[in-house]
Amino acid sequence: MSDTPLWTPGAERAAGTQVMDFMRQVNARHGLSLSSYKELHAWSVAHPDLFWDQVWDYCGVIGEKGARLLIDGDKMPGAQFFPDGQINFAENLLRKTGPGDALVFRGEDKVAYRWSWADLHAFVSRAQQALAAAGIGKGDRVAAMLPNLPESVGLMLAVTSLGAIWSSCSPDFGERGVLDRFGQIEPKIFIAVDGYWYNGKSIDLTERLTAIAGQLPTAQKVVIVPYLKTADAVAAKVPRAVTLDAFLKDFAPKPVTFTRVPFNHPVYILYSSGTTGVPKCIVHGGGGTLLQHLKEHRLQSDVREGDRVFYFTTLGWMMWNWLVSGIGAGATLILWDGSPFAPKPDVLFDYAQDEKITLFGTSAKYIDACKKAGVQPAKTHDLSSVRVMTSTGSPLAAESFDYVYSDIKKDIHLASISGGTDIVSCFVLGDPTAPVYRGEIQAAGLGMAVDVWSDDGKHIVEEKGELVCVKPFASMPVMFWNDPDGKKYRAAYFERFPNVWCHGDFAEWTKHGGMIIHGRSDATLNPGGVRIGTAEIYAQVEQIPEVLEAIAIGQDFDGDVRVILFVRLMDGVTLDDALRETIKKKIRTGASPRHVPAKIIQVADIPRTKSGKITELAVRDVVHGRPVKNTEALANPEALKLYEGLAELRR
């Protein structure tokens, strides 16, 4: 662990951040003398009621706060912030009006257009009227299977403006994957796209949508959004379907109205990955989601009015929900749909240059892929507008930090962030006032009482343990759908340590006060009874040029657990004894002898979820001859066959 930071903001830049302005307002309001992010964080978790109250006021939340700030603050679950509050989620995102870009879109090199703030308001108004005329009101569910289009943002805002609940997935989900999610929540309207582009190819959805609509009986209407310009033909074949144009045609724009609902009224339903069974339906409240996102955009990422915020995401990943809240900070959203390497590897950096992106958000896998592809935007692109680069989805390897500062941009706030669908936000993320150290997430989020505990529930530093949150926070789920007694909800987070959120990540505090995530706890390897995080292995293996990506599992063998490493190699490369030894040596010296796999096996593909995360648990089940309960959750379920019955694993 290096003591030399890769980047430091400088005193003037740090002092000018919104989080320091927020701290000065906390000091003035409460007669304090806090002087650093660390001190502000300590205050925020000691006084969660006062902290979230301050976030409400600082971010100018529209609504009625109510008399009480927090009740049952010692209960998790059970705590409620602003129990008397009334807000509307969309009202707080749609504050900006007039000319200027609200949404900018590119779909690979096939489609490009932009909406002004006036365009966005006009669309939301028409969609709101059409939805209301179709019977959508408070608490109704609207399910959407859409690309990352301006229309997707507008439809979400129209749905939530009515106090209804939005739930989405991306159009690459298969029939079973869509029904396993939306079938549980019984939507009143199903919105889908006619097709989509990926890697230069158009994918028609007529057959899939016909099958899905036939099995969603509660969806009284199916609305087909045009993207491939085949909406009319698709709508003619799909049951109960109309095109978006037909859905909106009777309604002219007028001022958008907003239905205020209780602070904890549901706004989003998100889903667990579903690789171990039918996905859990995680219900998020509008107020907590709003406050958390405003805090993360403005205080943790320093997003300002007029900034241009980009995140490479789909509607099947919680980062889309995070991204769209950027308009609540007055930022323009820069939307992309399709492959991040189509038509060429540096296409997203072209986009950043052309649109003067200020926050560039992506995944750790994308950064590693750019490194392996030899992309060097520091030499080829003007990225002077980009102040912040965020990375999530999986742990960002230390070498990827090096790559960002050497080959993307030297003066940039690189914020590795981590949280999840469960909280529709982050536990640990960026601190714009602090140095960035190689391989480390900078800090716990404000208001998040995050810690790392040993198996016996003790605080540990510079040791690996369970990531926990010991106090309630605003964006805890309000419930799981179809879980009336809360049993599934409690089992998911609170069984390991009573009254403490146990997140399921294997983590470590560093001596700098930062954090390293070593992978999921349920994917942790235990050779000889020693816990090893899979991310520690990947961080070493993926430095080897011949290795495109890897997946590690623990195999039960001969009364113990042995580490098995599967590697996907560059085209034309074969795993021979020399490369095996190179991999083992790299792991032995970069991690430890205990991390060295017992077997290294070449595979043609690695299974991943729709949001791009590799699935250790699914591979582990296949290797042990157990059925994978929900292959529809995978983007490439056919890859699982590569791991069946391998002779090499029987000896």
**Residues 6+ away with beta carbon under 8 Å from 588:** 595, 596
What is the reported pLDDT for 360? 98
Give the pLDDT confidence of 375-415 residue by residue, as tens digits: 999 999 999 999 999 999 888 989 999 999 999 999 999 99
Question: Are the beta carbons of 633 and 177 closer than 8 angstroms?
Answer: yes
Average pLDDT over residues 151-179: 95
Rounded Cα–Cα distance for residues 483 and 262 (Å):
20
What is the reported pLDDT for 432? 98
What is the reported pLDDT for 329? 97
Q: Which of 419, 396, 555, 409 shows the shortest CA–CA distance to 477?
A: 419
Question: Are the beta carbons of 261 and 92 closer than 8 angstroms?
Answer: no
Query: Bigger pLDDT: 295 or 610?
Result: 295
What is the reported pLDDT for 108? 96
Confidence band for 613, pLDDT divided at 50, 70 and 90:
confident
Average pLDDT over residues 152-172: 97
Confidence band for 529, pLDDT divided at 50, 70 and 90:
low
Characterize the bridge pairing of strands 221-225 and 189-193: parallel
What is the reported pLDDT for 279? 87
Average pLDDT over residues 476-481: 97
Rounded Cα–Cα distance for residues 507 and 515 (Å):
7
Question: Are the beta carbons of 238 and 251 closer than 8 angstroms?
Answer: no
Give the pLDDT confidence of 14-37 residue by residue, as tens digits: 999 999 999 999 999 999 999 999
Query: Bigger pLDDT: 427 or 611?
Result: 427
Give the pLDDT confidence of 296-342 residue by residue, as tens digits: 999 999 999 999 999 999 999 999 999 999 999 999 999 999 999 99
Confidence band for 546, pLDDT divided at 50, 70 and 90:
very high
Average pLDDT over residues 584-595: 86
**Residues 6+ away with beta carbon under 8 Å from 363:** 312, 391, 392, 393, 394, 612
Average pLDDT value over all residues in the chain = 95
What is the reported pLDDT for 276? 60
Residue 535 has pLDDT above 90, yes or no: no
Q: Which of 606, 609, 604, 605 shows the shortest CA–CA distance to 634?
A: 609
What is the reported pLDDT for 632? 78
- Name the region of 644 (left: φ>0; alpha: ψ -120 to 50; beta: rest): beta
Distances (CA, A) of 644 to 469, 523, 623, 638, 647: 38, 19, 6, 11, 9
Confidence band for 1, pLDDT divided at 50, 70 and 90:
low
Percent of the chain with pLDDT over 70: 99
Characterize the bridge pairing of strands 201-204 and 332-337: unpaired
What is the reported pLDDT for 304? 97
What is the reported pLDDT for 274? 65
**Residues 6+ away with beta carbon under 8 Å from 524:** 506, 518, 531, 532, 533, 534
Q: Where are the domains of the chain?
A: 524-650
What is the reported pLDDT for 2? 75
Question: Are the beta carbons of 474 and 496 closer than 8 angstroms?
Answer: no
Question: Are the beta carbons of 172 and 609 closer than 8 angstroms?
Answer: no
Confidence band for 275, pLDDT divided at 50, 70 and 90:
low
The CATH number assigned to the domain with range 524-650 reads: 3.30.300.30
CA torsion angle 347 350 352 356 (round to 10): -160
Decide: helix, strand or coil at residue 207. Answer: helix
Give the pLDDT confidence of 127-157 residue by residue, as tens digits: 999 999 999 999 999 999 999 999 999 999 9
Residue 421 has pLDDT above 70, yes or no: yes
Rounded Cα–Cα distance for residues 89 and 95 (Å):
11
Confidence band for 241, pLDDT divided at 50, 70 and 90:
very high
What is the reported pLDDT for 209? 98
What is the reported pLDDT for 365? 86
Three-state SS string over 81-145 comes to ECCCCEECHHHHHCCCCCCCEEEEEEECCCEEEEEEHHHHHHHHHHHHHHHHHCCCCCCCEEEEE
Average pLDDT over residues 614-621: 90
